[in-house]
Amino acid sequence: MSVRSRLHIAMVAPPWFEVPPRAYGGIEAVLYDLVQALTRLGHQVTLIGAGRPGTSARFLATYDEPPSSRLGESMPEVVHAASVARMLDDLDVDVIHDHSLAGPLTALGRTAPTVVTVHGPAHGETADYYRLLGDSVSLVSISTSQRMLAPDLNWVGTVHNAVDVTTFPFQERKGDYTLFLGRFSPDKGAHLAIEAARAAGRRILLAGKLIEPSEHEYFDTHVKPRLGEDAVYVGEADGATKRRLLADARCLLFPIQWEEPFGMVMIEAMACGTPVVALRGGAVPEVVAPGITGFVCDDPGELPVAIEAAGALSPADCRAHVTRQFDALGMARGYEKIYRQVAGDRRPTPVAA
């Protein structure tokens, strides 16, 4: 019987969506799987977030209902951070894992060390922000490419995002449509996905978040005019609908136009046995195994040929790739090492494994 140290981890979610999310919410989906896996490893987790409890962890709410309609405003983040600070004062924890934006500002006043996963871009003002926080926080990147954008930040490790593969349905036989799933933003390239699918003679379904004014502007200007019988917007997909769409798709189109820090939808698709056809950028080459789980293209003009070639790839190989490289338990073990590293001399209670 092995013995390991049991940690008490305060997990701070952003305020915008519940954990797990009802529909859109990439960070919240990762948090759900991370909390569940850490609990399986024997750790005590206290989750602080908005809305209703939805995990096996103890839950403390800063908002009774997530302020999702106010996404992009600053005050919900600030109020959330202030509430979290009060709650942490009453908790005896070994480490605080903060996924919010404003929360790390209070790290200097915390009695336990703060680990921050950088879920967004590590450049521009975001990098300036974390640079100014200095060693008050220990930063974790979600890809090597993200970390390379700002190598001078106080990084303590890299842990790829992951999923609980067992919660995604595996489907060997696919439908005839291609799929775009994600935010409607110029960075995600939905308009390029439509053009590529059309050039390949394949129908495309588009699903994703359409809430913020900038998303509506992009959709109305660049996506809506391209819709038709062969390009259909199906709305924002909840968890069940997302899995059904991913499992039945010929391939997922991911024609990003920025340095994507990770790209959760890629591993979600592959977990369903669905290959990914993407443009090279950010973490894409770290996630997709070319010629095995999809294709990484250097130019939009290469996408139509890749869409056709994707039909010959093995769904089983796609699933196996995610199981080996991006499973939630592996993610939890990666963070477990970092928690122990930053906790230093704190001596948690031993538990039998």
**Which residue do the tokens 């680990």 mark?**
115
pLDDT at 144 over 60: yes
* 35 class by beta-carbon count within 10 Å (0-12 exposed, 13-18 middle, 19+ buried): buried
The closest of 29, 50, 10 to 119, measured between CA atoms, is: 29
What span, in angstroms and rounded, lies between the C-alpha atoms of 53 and 111? 25
Confidence of residue 317 (pLDDT cuts 50, 70, 90): very high
Residues 106 and 85: beta-carbon distance below 8 Å: yes
What is the SS3 assignment for 60? strand
Q: Quick one: pLDDT at residue 22?
A: 83
Q: Which amino acid, 349?
A: T
Q: Mean pLDDT over residues 249-274, rounded?
A: 97
Output the average pLDDT for the chain: 94
The per-residue pLDDT for 7 is 96
Q: What is the pLDDT of residue 4?
A: 57
The pLDDT > 90 percentage for the chain reads: 90
Q: What is the mean pLDDT of residues 139-164?
A: 97
The pLDDT of residue 238 is 87
Distances (CA, A) of 258 to 129, 185, 282: 20, 11, 7
Using an 8 Å Cβ cutoff, are 8 and 92 in contact? yes
C-alpha closest to that of 282 among 141, 115, 72, 154: 141
* 111/94 Cα distance (integer angstroms): 9
pLDDT tens-place string over residues 76-91 = 999 999 999 999 999 9
List, for residues 4-46, the tens digit of each pLDDT value: 589 999 999 999 999 998 877 789 999 999 999 999 999 999 9
134 pLDDT band (50/70/90 cuts)? very high
Q: Which domains does the chain have, with CATH numbers?
A: 3-164+327-352 (3.40.50.2000), 165-325 (3.40.50.2000)
Q: Is the pTM of this model over 0.75?
A: yes
pLDDT value of residue 239: 87
| pLDDT classification of 57: cutoffs 50, 70, 90 | very high
